[in-house]
Amino acid sequence: VTTRVLVNGAADDAVAVNDRGFQYGDGLFETVAVRDGMPLLWSRHLARLHRGAERLGLALPDAAVLTREAHALCHGLARAVLKLVISRGPGARGYRLPASPQPTRVLSVVDGPVTLDATDTATVRLCATRLSLQPALAGVKHLNRLEQVLARAEWGDDYSEGLMSDTAGNIIEGTASNVFLVADGVLCTPDVSQCGVAGVVRELVLERAPALGIRCLVQPITLDLLYRADEMFLTNSLIGVRPVTRLEQRTYAIGQITEDIRQTLKQIDAIV
Amino acid sequence: VTTRVLVNGAADDAVAVNDRGFQYGDGLFETVAVRDGMPLLWSRHLARLHRGAERLGLALPDAAVLTREAHALCHGLARAVLKLVISRGPGARGYRLPASPQPTRVLSVVDGPVTLDATDTATVRLCATRLSLQPALAGVKHLNRLEQVLARAEWGDDYSEGLMSDTAGNIIEGTASNVFLVADGVLCTPDVSQCGVAGVVRELVLERAPALGIRCLVQPITLDLLYRADEMFLTNSLIGVRPVTRLEQRTYAIGQITEDIRQTLKQIDAIV
């Protein structure tokens, strides 16, 4: 496995111990599929990064710099995963923001398969670890990920993904993916305004569904709805659209709506 | 300002970019007052670190190693602040725990005044940023600190500290301190089982109050109780016990119970 890393534009593999990313998780990240040297859905990833930066009051590096460095890092790689981390940079002791923050940008790429267009399916379980309700951070792909770490520690290899509920008991997302259901012919996915991450592929599915004649609702997903749904799929930037065939003991068919969404998203190369 | 840093026992000032502390905030920290070369309340800080490590399933370095490195770092410093960060160490992509985690330990000391026995007072404000309810992480001094970062960004120099409420509206703590009130002659402090940090000085106050003839309750603190309280003070390992003289427009006297607690805690040198 080849890994290449740029820290603030220079080949490096370390950040300062007083970086607020390390001290407080004070920053944002993006995980991007790379194909034939190109980061996919790049403008959407940058747009989400900007929305997150506004929420945290974080000054981002210039988009042109990020794009240039991403392309340099991905050059020549047929299939890879690019990760960007933007932290608020070094700081003195205490939570107070530095007077003149110097954000740290870490771009790293790992060579290897991206399964965005694969025909893989997923099996899922329900996690005991809940997502707390925090509108100030909801939707944002920030570096405070202990809830996901605890949830992922609940199982090993026996499932592809775990579904997480919020503290009210509604299903919100997978530990590293968004979730969609089809019930009564309607595609639905949870709201992420109180917790969860607003995934770029989730956004794309919500945008594209109407043109495919698919009615799509953002609505609470109860356990009951989960069990009585006809189809389920997961989305993220690396797996694209992945049908769920089993939730613990309950099996699901790969239905027509899932197939239609998946076929559309397979053309994702065209929408870099 | 002199800063000395040890990373895994060696003089260094950086951690790997793939450290899960930087990637996910996957770790714990302690902030410790140093006087005359000695880290104060050391065994209590270690005990809390161990409780946090159990909650996160984090393998800690040996306590003897931490103690040796802390003493080496603090040697010869009359007044200083020692910070320990223990992260889960380097990891591959994804939330899943490494098969054989190699935790990273960062001990850093900053020379300078510790006001543990100072007669300073504090002024406080109410923060708009709320603490989310998450029993899986409550009480633990972990590295996911974005709520505190956002709360501290709400004001500048005009107040010493900001009080944070939970999403139900009850006061829980300051951004970097615990809070105590005296109302109707009873000392009270919020429960930290749903959110907040279980501070070592908070613990000490709860232990010592009964012997001083002070009745002490862990109970919800509403805004109403906050305004009608007779005394208020903040605690943490660096400020010790600090009386609050003002909450925005409302002033507070420094009362007898606060004084009694403060006098007792001034002997904190003796209880290293």
Give the other-Cβ count within 10 Å of B39's Cβ: 27
What is residue B101's predicted lDDT score, i.e. its pLDDT? 95
Among B15, B82, B146, B238, which would you mutate to test the A interface (most chain A Cβ atoms within 10 Å of its Cβ)? B146
What pLDDT band is residue A267 in, cutting at 50, 70 and 90? Answer: confident
What is residue B269's predicted lDDT score, i.e. its pLDDT? 56
What residues of chain B lie within 8 A of the CB of A176, using their CB? 94-95
Q: What percent of chain B has pLDDT over 70?
A: 95
Q: How many CA atoms lie within 13 A of A198 on its CB side?
A: 22
Among B7, B17, B127, which would you mutate to test the A interface (most chain A Cβ atoms within 10 Å of its Cβ)? B17
What is residue B265's predicted lDDT score, i.e. its pLDDT? 87
Q: How many angstroms separate the CA of residue B111 from the nearest CA in chain A?
A: 12
Over residues B210-224, the pLDDT tens digits come to 999 999 999 999 999
Which sequence positions of B are flagged as catalytic?
A: 31, 141, 173
Instruction: List phi, psi (to 5°) of A177.
Output: -160, 160
**What is the three-state SS of B206-246?**
HHHCHHHCCCEEECCECHHHHHHCCEEEEEECCCEEEEEEE
CA distance A88 to A86: 7
Quote the Cα angle for B109-B114-B116, to 5°: 130
What residues of chain B lie within 8 A of the CB of A23, using their CB? 29, 85, 143, 145
CA A185 to chain centre: 26
In sequence order, the 6+-apart residues with CB closer than 8 A to the CB of B90 are B16, B18, B19, B20, B98, B102, B104
- Cβ contact B224:B213 at 8 Å: no
Indicate whether A3 pLDDT > 90: no
Strands (E), A38-103: 38-39, 79-87
Which whole number is the average pLDDT over A98-124?
A: 86
| Residue A175: burial class (beta carbons within 10 Å; 0-12, 13-18, 19+) | buried
Strands B122-126 vs B161-165: parallel, antiparallel or unpaired: parallel
Indicate whether A271 pLDDT > 50: no
In sequence order, the 6+-apart residues with CB closer than 8 A to the CB of B177 are B161, B199, B234, B235, B236, B239, B242
CA distance B244 to B252: 7
Which whole number is the average pLDDT over A86-92?
A: 96
Gyration radius of chain B over CA positions: 19
Per the CB < 8 Å rule, is A136 touching B153? no
If you measure CA to CA, which chain A residue comes closest to B168?
A133
Residue type, B216: C
CA distance A78 to A75: 9
Among B83, B85, B95, B193, which would you mutate to test the A interface (most chain A Cβ atoms within 10 Å of its Cβ)? B95
Per the CB < 8 Å rule, is B13 touching A16? yes
CA distance A187 to A183: 7
| Residue A100: burial class (beta carbons within 10 Å; 0-12, 13-18, 19+) | exposed
Q: Which H helix or E strand runs over A44? A: helix A42-56
Over residues B39-98, the pLDDT tens digits come to 999 999 999 999 999 999 999 999 999 999 999 999 999 999 999 999 999 999 999 999
Per the CB < 8 Å rule, is B14 touching A18? no
The pTM score is 0.96
Between residues A148 and B112, the one the model is more confident about: A148
CA distance B211 to A223: 51
Tell me the torsion sign for CA atoms B92, B96, B100, B106.
positive
Give, as one character, the DSSP assignment of residue B58.
Answer: P
Per the CB < 8 Å rule, is A149 touching B97? yes
Beta partners for residue B236, in sequence order: B240
- Cβ contact B174:B195 at 8 Å: no
What pLDDT band is residue B267 in, cutting at 50, 70 and 90? Answer: confident
Over residues A202-257, the pLDDT tens digits come to 999 999 999 999 999 999 999 999 999 999 999 999 999 999 999 999 999 999 99
Per the CB < 8 Å rule, is B12 touching A7? no
